[in-house]
Amino acid sequence: GAVVSQHPSRVICKSGTSVKIECRSLDFQATTMFWYRQFPKQSLMLMATSNEGSKATYEQGVEKDKFLINHASLTLSTLTVTSAHPEDSSFYICSAGMNLAGSTDTQYFGPGTRLTVL
Amino acid sequence: SQELEQSPQSLIVQEGKNLTINCTSSKTLYGLYWYKQKYGEGLIFLMMLQKGGEEKSHEKITAKLDEKKQQSSLHITASQPSHAGIYLCGADNDYKLSFGAGTTVTVRA
């Protein structure tokens, strides 16, 4: 159980184009999903928290108009990188929260999406 | 925000030997998570600890949370090549996770 998928796993795009990444919880419903960015040999940086049916909450320094997040259902959240530029090239990972015990959800992570902007 | 320090940054262990990774928090931990990541892949959930003194085991991996709830350790017994990867601790921080920098484990045959 607790499987999260991401699509695509790799994407290469031209500068100025937009890229959409999907995150799905396959065998559970996730009220909350999270989007992270990871630079080479660094830890994960939380970009935003996505709640089903409401606007995402962005971390400080993350441009909401640049990184559009939609969480239309309990099993799907999407991240759209708009007008992508080479500096947006990174590894993007999503996670979906499931409550195992206590008040905080345990986050289950997708396999990540490698974005390269030329 | 909660800061997590992991040590060591990296380690190399001979196959069959034990290893320990530490995760220290600047604040009291209300939920401590251990994940494993292979480079360029997603994170695999290992264990969650919440109570002071709690210890959990799964196969050859044991995680503990100290009584004061500010430090956790991850211990691997008789390491195997499959244990190689990056181990990350994450702390519950206002319903979000704050991660340590990670510990890279290399297992030599």
Q: Read out DSSP for B20-59?
A: EEEEEESS--S-EEEEEE-TTS-EEEEEEE-STT-EEEET
Q: How confident is the model at residue A42 (pLDDT cuts 50, 70, 90)?
A: confident
- Contact assignment for B88 to A6 by CB distance below 8 Å: no
How does residue A60 score in pLDDT terms, banded at 50, 70 and 90?
very high
| Average pLDDT score over residue span A29-56 | 89
- Of B45, B50, B100, which is closest to A108 when you measure between CB atoms? B45
Q: Is A1 on the interface with B (CB under 8 A)?
A: no
In the three-class reduction of DSSP (H, G, I as helix; E, B as strand; rest coil), residue A16 is classed as coil
Partner residue facing A46 (CB), from B41, B96, B102:
B96
C-alpha distances (whole Å) from B67 to each of A41, B10, B36, B64, B74 are: 32, 26, 24, 9, 15
Average pLDDT over all residues of chain A: 92
- Specify the range with the lowest mean pLDDT, choosing from A29-33, B47-51, B93-97: B93-97
Res B77 pLDDT > 70: yes
Higher-scoring residue by pLDDT: B39, A36: A36
Query: A2 and B45: CB-CB below 8 Å?
Result: yes
B77 min Cα distance to partner chain A (Å): 25
How confident is the model at residue B67, as a pLDDT?
87
Task: pLDDT band for A101, please (50, 70, 90 cuts).
Answer: low
Interchain pair A105, B48: CB under 8 A: no
Q: Which of B33, B88, B99 sits opposite A106 (nearest CB)?
A: B33
Taken in order B95, B96, B102, B105, is the CA torsion positive or negative?
A: positive
Contacts of A112 in chain B (CB under 8 A): 40-42
**If pLDDT is split at 50, 70 and 90, which confidence band does B14 have?**
very high
Which residues of B lie inside 8 Å of A (Cβ-Cβ)?
30-31, 33, 35, 40-45, 48, 50, 88, 90, 92, 95-102
- Please check the confidence at residue A103 and state whether its pLDDT lies above 80: no
Q: Is the CB of residue A77 less than 8 Å from the CB of residue A71?
A: yes
Give the per-residue pLDDT at A54: 84
> Does A46 lie at the interface with B, CB-CB under 8 angstroms?
yes
Identify which of B40, B44, B101 has the shortest CB distance to residue A43: B101
Percentage of residues in chain A having pLDDT higher than 70: 95
The whole-number average pLDDT for the span B17-24 is: 98
pLDDT at A104 over 80: no
